Structure 1
Amino acid sequence: MIVVGLTGGIGSGKTTVAKMFKALDVPVYIADVEAKKLMSKSKIIKRKLIELFGEQAYLDNSLNKPFIASIIFNDKNMLNQMNAIIHPRVARHFEKWTAKQKSEYVIKEVAILFENGSDKLCDYIIAVTAPEATKIERVLERDNTSEEKVKAIMDNQWSDAEKVKLSHFVIENIDLEKTKKQVASVHAQILKKIQKS
């Protein structure tokens, strides 16, 4: 199965682009969503996160996201330790999911695809980009957060320029109609590459 990685910084509109691929009948795996499910369901992950962050990691049996976010975005070491617990399990979950798909290719949407080394497991990579001001504006509209917090997250992610350099396709997500056309074009190019190989 051909795996296409879809990545982009916070506020770039990865989820919007992922939905457009879904509309073209491409199965899409959103790593963040699946990671959150595993953090709530998996007893092993729960135990390890409590060992790492303390009892406050979970409130009433559900993940205490604000508490964990306040730690990991100020401490790269803690972020790396948390990722080391979660990423291998998400990778296994993705493999099982992929085995069930019947399409020409699947999309794995990961915000930190390059940062966590998942790019090495992809056949092709799509980077979603947008101007920084646009990204900040989108996140402020979407989440109850501050510009300072958004910038802190951006500092933990690679820049668009770094991602673009290592990607096979780039989708600039500013205008939805134009984005839709770019998605259709990339989809056609990937299918062509698969038929050739």
Structure 2
Amino acid sequence: MKKTVVGLTGQSGAGKTTISDAFRENGFEIINCDLVAREVTNADSKCCKELAKLFPSCFDENYSLDRQKLGEIVFSDKNKLQMLNDTIYPFINKLIDEKINATESEFVLLDAPTLFEAGADKLCCVIVSVVADFGIRLERITKRDGISAELAKKRFSSQ
């Protein structure tokens, strides 16, 4: 069965989850790429073993990732962010492709904040981008993720 894949992207805190819910209510299977990223970085995964070579201070002996520590490192250094992305995106895209092929739904939405950076836009028939005011985004992210405004701003600047 040929799949219709819609890519949903936008900056952190812009409202992708709300839009994603609307697509779900209209029959789309949703693939949350943030959750896919968490899945490929489960402790002792192949991806974590690769990342641990680059960011050893962010892992324990069981290859369990400290995401906050990694975020502090990569969101303040564009070169390290690029190293992270170059390592993790192939794992993420492989799993996304597997999930698209495994779904029985004809319609799939990729909720993907870094759709273009990851190269996952190549999997999509059409792309929707969500935008929101900076202040609204900042408020949403600090509440949702329990992080400081300073860390949220670093995250924004890396996008």
SS at match of 1:111: coil
Residue of structure 2 equivalent to 1:95: 97
1:154, CA displacement in angstroms? 1.3
- How far apart, in 2, do the equivalents of 1:147 and 1:97 lie? 34
Asked if the contact 2:93/2:118 (under 8 Å) is kept, the reply is no
Residue of structure 1 equivalent to 2:82: 80
- How far apart, in 2, do the equivalents of 1:101 and 1:44 lie? 24
Higher mean displacement: 114-123 or 32-41: 114-123
Counterpart of 1:75, as a letter, is D
Asked if the contact 2:51/2:84 (under 8 Å) is kept, the reply is yes
Provide TM-score, normalisation by structure 2. Answer: 0.89
1:66-100 deviation per Cα after TM superposition (whole angstroms, max 9, x unaligned): 11011000111111111111111111111111112
Residue of structure 1 equivalent to 2:59: 58
Residue of structure 1 equivalent to 2:106: 104
Matched, 1:137 2:139: yes
Greater C-alpha Rg: 1
1:135, CA displacement in angstroms? 0.8
Unpaired runs of at least 5, structure 1: 158-197
1:36 paired residue among 35, 38, 41 = 38
2:118 paired residue among 116, 119, 138 = 116
Taking structure 1 as reference, are residues 154 and 71 closer, same or farther at Cα in structure 2, changes over 3 Å only?
same
1:90-132 deviation per Cα after TM superposition (whole angstroms, max 9, x unaligned): 1111111111222232111111122333223311001111111
Matched, 1:10 2:25: no
Counterpart of 2:59, as a letter, is Y
Provide TM-score, normalisation by structure 1. Answer: 0.73
- How far apart, in 2, do the equivalents of 1:116 and 1:93 lie? 12
- How far apart, in 1, do the equivalents of 2:115 and 2:108 lie? 15
Counterpart of 1:6, as a letter, is L
SS at match of 1:63: coil
Let me know the Cα RMSD of the aligned residues: 1.7
1:142, CA displacement in angstroms? 1.7
Asked if the contact 2:27/2:107 (under 8 Å) is kept, the reply is no
Counterpart of 2:96, as a letter, is F
1:151, CA displacement in angstroms? 1.6
> What count of residue pairs does the alignment treat as equivalent?
156
- How far apart, in 1, do the equivalents of 2:90 and 2:44 lie? 13
Unpaired runs of at least 5, structure 2: none
1:59, CA displacement in angstroms? 3.5
Runs of 4+ in 1 over 6 A off after TM superposition: none
Identity within the alignment, %: 33
- How far apart, in 1, do the equivalents of 2:121 and 2:79 lie? 21
